Amino acid sequence: MSDLKLTDSAVVDGAVFASTSFKDHEQVVFCNDAETGLKAIIGIHNTVLGPALGGTRMWNYDNEADAIRDVLRLSRGMTFKASISGLNLGGGKAVIIGDSRKDKTDALMQKFGEYVNSLSGRYITAEDVGITTHDMEMVKLKTDHVTGVPVEMGGSGDPSPVTAYGVFMGMKAAAHYKFGSDNLGGKKVMVQGIGHVGETLVKHLTEAGAEVMINDIHMDRMEEVAAKYQATIHSGDVFDAEFDIYAPCALGATVNPHTIDRLSATVIAGAANNQLADEWRDGATLKEKGILYAPDFLINAGGLINVYSEIAKYDREESLRRTENIYHTTLEIFRKAEVENITTHEAALKIAEARIIQTKAQQN
Ligand code: NAD
């Protein structure tokens, strides 16, 4: 995943504490099992608000340093996502090193479940890139500290459709702020990454009358989604195309100095975690250029809201209602950023951090 190298080029291969992505994480757990071939890393960033909940990603990282960097950045993002969404959860995430299309087995996922169980609930897992509800079913055989398990097993199923709904709400709020109307009819939207979340987002967008362009590394996926929703395939470089709204729904760090200069869109609103390669530098450049950025950890929280509900007693209606509210929270963040003359990312981060600081003060 070469794009991540942009963020942390100084890191020594394998270093954790020395990584610039290491930001006061509470715990990092390395899991290794020769028999199943499992190599995983669980990152627990912060548990002030509650147990660290975050999905597991399976990805064929170029090297271990990329995997470490990814888990550190992703787990930190979860802390702020839970906080700004008003959930009593901390931030955590896991990565499994390997190709999910080739290396994943039920035995490997069960072994991973044993490792999750060994943390006694400090970390609760769910799906992320490369992981399905079936995989969570395998994890569930070994631990109760898992969400996003199939509905037949009493779970809430795949969180992705709820995530996509929240992203759609955040995008509508951004369109309202930038273009004066939240009607996406006729707007050209580029959805990059049409996996679990991206596909449902395409569905919402085409239903809303948007002109949707799709991009993915897998041609079979693009053909399938294009046929289903009448979206246009863009198989070349995303940043060569002209569109109004950019929806990154693949991996992180796609918003960086190399891409911002070439971006035709004036709104960024997507599902991917850690879209800004460098949250301060790239957030500031977007602000300077008048590109409205809907903070990723705010608008992609629908899935987390949904799996959070599974921990107590699952209530889909309530999860959808809370997810719909992302529209209003996003507008509040845009206003705060404008009034305080700060980036939208910083505005969201300030609110998320304030809740954690306040809770910690009450605990002491
Ligand atoms: P997924 O694995 O189902 O889909 C990801 C898609 O992106 C795949 O189709 C893959 O082929 C494509 N992709 C990978 N690299 C690409 C590239 N360079 N260019 C174009 N396409 C590329 O994953 P998902 O669950 O849909 O998650 C998508 C993003 O949203 C991830 O960043 C994830 O962390 C984030 N997210 C997901 C959820 C959720 O509920 N699933 C919640 C919050 C955030």
CA–CA distances in Å: residue 301 to residues 62, 75, 136, 218: 28, 14, 19, 26
How far apart CA 49 and CA 93 sit, in angstroms, is 15
How far apart CA 161 and CA 305 sit, in angstroms, is 12
How far apart CA 16 and CA 255 sit, in angstroms, is 24
Which entry of 39, 81, 93, 287 is annotated as an active-site residue?
93
- Residue 1 has what pLDDT? 38
Which helix (H) or strand (E) segment is 273 a member of? none
- Residue 10 has what pLDDT? 43
How far apart CA 47 and CA 274 sit, in angstroms, is 20
Q: Atom of ligand 1 at shortest distance to CA of 270?
A: 30
Closest of 231, 293, 281, 237 to residue 262, by C-alpha: 237
How far apart CA 298 and CA 279 sit, in angstroms, is 14
- Residue 3 has what pLDDT? 40
- CB environment 297-329: b (16+ within 10 A), e (fewer): bbbbbbbbbbbbbbbeebeeeebbebbeebbeb
Domains and CATH numbers, the chain: 3-155 (3.40.50.10860), 161-300+330-351 (3.40.50.720)
- Residue 154 has what pLDDT? 85
Q: For atom 39 of ligand 1, which residue has the closest CA?
A: 160
Q: For atom 8 of ligand 1, which residue has the closest CA?
A: 195
Please tell me the distance between residue 328's alpha carbon and the centre of ligand 1 in angstroms: 25
Q: Strands (DSSP E) along the chain, which ranges?
A: 27-33, 38-46, 52-53, 56-59, 90-97, 123-124, 188-192, 211-215, 232-233, 245-248, 267-268, 292-293
Q: Kindly list the protein residues whose Cβ atom lies closer than 6 A to any atom of ligand 1.
A: 127-130, 159-160, 163, 192-198, 215-218, 221, 249-251, 271-273, 300, 303
Q: Atom of ligand 1 at shortest distance to CA of 127?
A: 41
Q: For atom 43 of ligand 1, which residue has the closest CA?
A: 300
Query: For residues 292 and 268, is the Cβ–Cβ distance under 8 A?
Result: yes
Q: For atom 5 of ligand 1, which residue has the closest CA?
A: 195
Is 93 catalytic? The answer is yes
Walk along the chain (364 residues) and give the pLDDT tens digit of each residue: 334 444 444 455 668 998 889 999 999 999 999 999 999 999 999 999 999 999 999 999 999 999 999 999 999 999 999 999 999 999 999 999 999 999 999 999 999 999 999 999 999 999 999 999 999 999 999 999 999 999 888 889 999 999 999 999 999 999 999 999 999 999 999 999 999 999 999 999 999 999 999 999 999 999 999 999 989 999 999 999 999 999 999 999 999 999 999 999 999 999 999 999 999 999 999 999 999 999 999 999 999 999 999 988 888 999 999 999 999 999 999 999 999 999 999 999 999 999 999 999 999 8
Please tell me the distance between residue 316's alpha carbon and the centre of ligand 1 in angstroms: 23
- Residue 15 has what pLDDT? 83
